[in-house]
Amino acid sequence: MRVSAQDTAQAVLDVVPAVMRTIRTEMRTHRGCDINVPQFRTLGYLNRYSGVSLSQLAEHIGLTLPSMSKLVDGLVARKLVSRQVYTGDRRRVTLALTARGRASLASSLEYTEAYLAERLAALSDTDRATIVQAMQLLDPIFRSEREVEAKPAPQTNDAS
Amino acid sequence: MRVSAQDTAQAVLDVVPAVMRTIRTEMRTHRGCDINVPQFRTLGYLNRYSGVSLSQLAEHIGLTLPSMSKLVDGLVARKLVSRQVYTGDRRRVTLALTARGRASLASSLEYTEAYLAERLAALSDTDRATIVQAMQLLDPIFRSEREVEAKPAPQTNDAS
DNA sequence: TATTGTTATACTCTATAACTATA
DNA sequence: TATAGTTATAGAGTATAACAATA
């Protein structure tokens, strides 16, 4: 099957923004899930890689350091994330989810997933498998540049 | 192959925002392609459905009427879009691409596509086919709510 | 002197509310 | 009175520049 990279790019460019806007609008609309997409991604990343530094986080999420700092500020203020000075190098900071953060992530994830799942339920198993496979193909291509080999946290303190 | 709607939703939620951020960052970074994602989508929609009203456009793009109005304002000021009072109903407005708008769209598309294509080139034909197929599956699910049956324009004036 | 993160400041995008013009 | 669109205003999010603290 001949599918050029350009055809693929065009398809991605056509569809991804529409999907994204649906996700964003849905997150904004849902009351009690008071979290936006970058915040959601931040919680998700910290869930996977507890104890990373601010720089690592910013690199992955794709924000500048000041923006990331501000975003984290908000999450710390809401006690969803803990931020501690790293004892080994006092310039660095160690970020982790609190219990509340985990709960908030689970709730957002559940809600947004449920919303998407509702729409995806219209498809056949085979079609869904195709989508999952496509996501798995896209993932490394668009994440690799940022994903850090995130050393597991020296400690997963939970200041909830 | 058993793939639940929820598994699929999770995959989408994990990957789509990362892809989207890459696209957005790329568009912002690229000098001479002075256009953001909603503007890009607006031009693309007007290219397909010339002569639509502001409301139809806002509905599709997923912005409120005032936001859409402002966005279009900018495009009109830059002579990428023409905006004319519709003679049949003087409250309505008729939007279309100008020649400059078409050129700008083509340029943005070409650049961003090329950028994405560069990354997608690493995949096999089969893998790319999978991605295209997945996009075709997602498209109606996330676009249908908004896509208007956009009456073709009564006139495709080009005030370039 | 270089690195990690924060603070100060400004700009863009988007929303809600109030308004104008037309039907 | 209802509809299409615009203007006024405000808030969120992000960036760049300047700064502070530590290495």
| Range of weakest confidence among A18-22, A58-62, A130-134 | A18-22
Q: How far apart are CA A48 and CA A51, in angstroms?
A: 10
Exposure b/e, A77-107, CB count within 10 A at least 16 = b: eeebbbeeebeeeeeebbbbbbebbbebbee
Q: How far is residue B88 CA from its own chain's centroid?
A: 28
Q: How far apart are CA A159 and CA B14, in angstroms?
A: 27
Return the pLDDT at A160.
Answer: 32
Residue in A with minimal Cα distance to B13: A113
Higher pLDDT, B116 or A146: B116
Residue positions counted in chain A: 160
Residue B84's H or E segment, with its range, is strand B81-85
| Range of weakest confidence among A32-36, A60-64, A126-130, B85-89 | A32-36
What phi, psi does A97 have (nearest 5°)? Answer: -75, 145
Residue in A with minimal Cα distance to B8: A132
CA of B77 to C1' of C3 (A): 45
The mean predicted confidence, pLDDT, of chain A is: 85
pLDDT band, residue B108 (cuts 50/70/90): confident
Higher pLDDT, A2 or B68: B68
Residue A96's identity, in one-letter code, is: A
- What dihedral angle (degrees, nearest 10) is formed by the CA atoms of B45, B51, B52, B58? 50
pLDDT band, residue A150 (cuts 50/70/90): very low
Of the candidates A12, A20, A109, the beta carbon closest to that of B116 is on A12
**Beta-bridge mates of residue A97:** A81
Q: What is the pLDDT of residues A78-122, one digit of tens each?
A: 999 999 999 999 999 999 999 999 999 998 888 888 889 999 999
What phi, psi does B70 have (nearest 5°)? Answer: -70, -45
pLDDT band, residue A143 (cuts 50/70/90): low
What phi, psi does A136 have (nearest 5°)? Answer: -65, -30
DSSP assignment letter at B154: S
Return the pLDDT at A31.
Answer: 57
Q: Please enumerate in sequence order all residues whose Cβ is within 8 A of that of A142, keeping only pairs 6 or more positions apart, or say none.
A: B15, B18, B19, B22, B119
Return the pLDDT at A1.
Answer: 67
Flag if A116 and B9 touch (Cβ within 8 Å).
yes
pLDDT band, residue B141 (cuts 50/70/90): confident
Could you tell me the two tokens for A53? 């530094």
Q: How far apart are CA B44 and CA B75, in angstroms?
A: 13
A73 CB inside 7 Å of strand C? yes
Do B116 and A9 touch, CB atoms closer than 8 A? Answer: yes
Q: How far apart are CA B101 and CA B106, in angstroms?
A: 8
